[in-house]
Amino acid sequence: MIPFLALVRKDLRLFFNDRRAVVVGLLVPIVLASFFGYIFGGQGGKTETSRMQVLAIDQDGSAISRGIIAQLNADKNLDVKPSTPDEARDLVTARRRRMRSRVANEPPRTARCVWNHGCEYSR
């Protein structure tokens, strides 16, 4: 174990003596994470978080299911809307179609090979 600790100590000493290695190894990841956090994160000046849409289907109609839906409505992060199974299925199917059309409009060639279970270049 002592030779291993000596090796670790030697490598850390070499690492911290090289300024470029320290900058690339420690500072660059912090700067990149901050940059991407600034671009993709944040509220855009809003003080309220966006609410996630949830469709609630109460097929049971019991007091317990009504209580669960009431608790979901009380959550400030959820936008709960009552729905029927058919309406919910149609909405989910429509969203999946929209997502597929966005993704499949112009996939790169490497992705087309995976999606089509074989490489087909149509260009």
Give the tens place of pLDDT for each residue, 71-90.
989 988 888 888 888 888 88
58 and 111 co-located in one domain? yes
Residue 123 or residue 10, greater confidence:
10
Range of the domain at 81: 52-115
62 and 107 co-located in one domain? yes
32 and 76 co-located in one domain? no
Would you state the structure tokens that stand for residue 19, as one six-digit string? 């300024």
65 and 90 co-located in one domain? yes
103 and 80 co-located in one domain? yes
63 and 20 co-located in one domain? no
Q: What predicted TM-score, i.e. pTM, was given to this entire model? A: 0.42
